[in-house]
Amino acid sequence: MGDENLIRTRGDYSKQSHEGYRNTIELLVGNNVVPLRSDTIRLVQNGCSFHGLWSEDPNQHLKGFLKLMDSLNLDGENKERTRLRLFQFSLRDQASNWLERLPAGSITTWEDLTTRFLAQFFPPGRTAKLQNDILMFQQHHGESLSEA
């Protein structure tokens, strides 16, 4: 007979389970998988964290992350795969929550990831506000530039 007629209780349905969980970032199948070392993960976590705060610059975060990745001296295909695998470890708080809310398997390339990341954390409205702040800047009479 087997498990096909297995009776499940309400308690069975209320237990937490990770079954069916898939990561947002899905790596395309390939032979060359570079294993991630725990010290490399810690380096990313400590060296370039992004929380998703308004005061943080997502472009600067990407620049710092890529600088760190370049120090690993990886070749072509491994470079993109490693970037994709490690980027999630650079995100904290709101930024990490944002990534987890994306549909499973929706990111497969570095281009996908950076486009979505910048659209979320550096939207066009933010650019317009910064441009407006620059255009509306005023230095009053008797005020030094640093005071303005």
Token pair listed for 7: 């009776």
Query: What's CA 92's distance to the chain center, in Å?
Result: 8
Half-sphere exposure in the Cβ direction for 73 (13 Å, CA): 0
Euclidean distance between CA atoms 130 and 142, whole angstroms: 25
- Is the pTM for the entire model greater than 0.85? no
pLDDT at position 99:
93
Tell me the pLDDT of the chain (148 aa) as tens digits: 455 556 667 766 566 655 555 677 777 666 556 678 888 889 888 888 999 998 899 999 999 999 998 888 776 667 888 898 899 999 999 999 999 999 888 899 999 999 999 999 986 666 666 676 777 777 778 887 777 7
Euclidean distance between CA atoms 77 and 29, whole angstroms: 11
Find the largest Cα–Cα distance for the chain: 90
Q: How far is CA 108 from CA 23, 35, 131, in A?
A: 11, 18, 33
Query: What's CA 116's distance to the chain center, in Å?
Result: 9
